[in-house]
Amino acid sequence: MSVQPIRANIAQDYSHAFRPGQIIPALLLACAAGGLVWALPLAPHNAIGFAALIATTIALDVLAADAVRAGRRVIGPALIITVAAFVLYGAPAAILVGAVRGITRALVPASLTRVEGACVASMGVIGPMLASASAAALPLMVAHPSPWLSIAVYVCCAFIIEVGAESLVLGRLSRPSILRALERNIGWSAVNYALYGALGAWLGTALAAGRWADLLFVGIPLAIVRQTTNMSGGEERYVGTIEHENSVLFDRIGQLDRMNGDLIEALAMAIDARDPHQTGHSGRVAQISTAIGVALGLAGERLENLRRAALLHDVGTLALSGHVTDKPGPLSPQERRYVQMHSDLGARFVAKWRDCREMAQIIEQHHERLDGSGYPRGLSGDAIVLEARIVAVAESYVALTSPRQHRAALSHAEALDEIRGGAETLYDQNVIEALAQVAETRTADVLPITHLRTPKP
Cα–Cα distance, 212 to 204 (Å, whole number): 10
- Same domain as 275, residue 186: no
What one-character-per-residue DSSP string does 149-181 give? Answer: HHHHHHHHHHHIIIIIIHHHHHHHHT-HHHHHH
Look at the chain and count its residues.
457
Convert the pLDDT of each residue in 279-320 to its tens digit.
788 888 999 999 999 999 998 888 988 998 998 888 888 877
Selected residue with higher pLDDT from 224 and 95? 95
Average pLDDT over residues 269-283: 76
- Residue 293 within any structural domain of the chain: yes
- Same domain as 272, residue 222: no
Least confident of 192-196, 273-277, 366-370: 273-277
| Alpha helix stretches (DSSP H) within 185-233 | 186-208, 213-232
Selected residue with higher pLDDT from 260 and 47? 47
Decide if 369 contacts 380 (C-beta within 8 A): yes
- Same domain as 366, residue 283: yes
CA dihedral 420, 425, 426, 430 (to 10 degrees): 60
- Above pLDDT 70, what percent of the chain? 72
Cα–Cα distance, 346 to 391 (Å, whole number): 14
330: pLDDT strictly greater than 90: no
Q: How many domains does the chain have?
A: 2
| Residue whose C-alpha is closest to residue 25's, from 14, 33, 16, 15 | 33
- Same domain as 301, residue 182: no
- Same domain as 392, residue 284: yes
Phi and psi at 89, nearest 5°, equal -115, -15
Query: Which pTM was predicted?
Result: 0.51
Decide if 160 contacts 128 (C-beta within 8 A): no
pLDDT score for 244: 57
Decide if 142 contacts 111 (C-beta within 8 A): no
Average pLDDT over residues 196-210: 88
- Same domain as 175, residue 84: yes
pLDDT score for 456: 41
- Residue 451 within any structural domain of the chain: no
pLDDT score for 180: 67
- Same domain as 266, residue 176: no
- Residue 91 within any structural domain of the chain: yes
- Same domain as 206, residue 287: no
- Residue 453 within any structural domain of the chain: no
5: pLDDT strictly greater than 50: no
pLDDT score for 33: 92
Under the banding of pLDDT at 50, 70 and 90, the label for residue 368 is very high
What H or E segment, with its residue span, contains residue 328? none
- Residue 139 within any structural domain of the chain: yes
Convert the pLDDT of each residue in 396-433 to its tens digit.
998 888 877 667 788 888 888 889 888 878 899 999 99
Query: Cβ contacts of residue 11 below 8 Å, gap of 6+?
Result: none
- Residue 194 within any structural domain of the chain: yes
- Same domain as 206, residue 263: no
435: pLDDT strictly greater than 70: yes
Long-range contacts of 319-323 (CB under 8 A, 24+ apart): 319/345, 319/349, 320/345, 322/1, 322/274
| CATH number for position 256 | 1.10.3210.10
CA dihedral 238, 241, 242, 244 (to 10 degrees): 160
**Domain range for residue 128?**
15-232
354: pLDDT strictly greater than 80: no
- Residue 326 within any structural domain of the chain: yes
Convert the pLDDT of each residue in 152-198 to its tens digit.
999 999 888 888 888 788 777 776 666 666 666 677 778 878 888 88
What one-character-per-residue DSSP string does 260-316 give? Answer: HHHHHHHHHHHHHHT-GGGTTHHHHHHHHHHHHHHHTT--HHHHHHHHHHHHTTTGG
Average pLDDT over residues 71-77: 58
Q: Which of 204, 232, 260 marks a domain boundary?
A: 232
- Above pLDDT 90, what percent of the chain? 18
Cα–Cα distance, 226 to 393 (Å, whole number): 60
The pLDDT mean for the chain works out to 77
- Residue 110 within any structural domain of the chain: yes
Under the banding of pLDDT at 50, 70 and 90, the label for residue 97 is very high
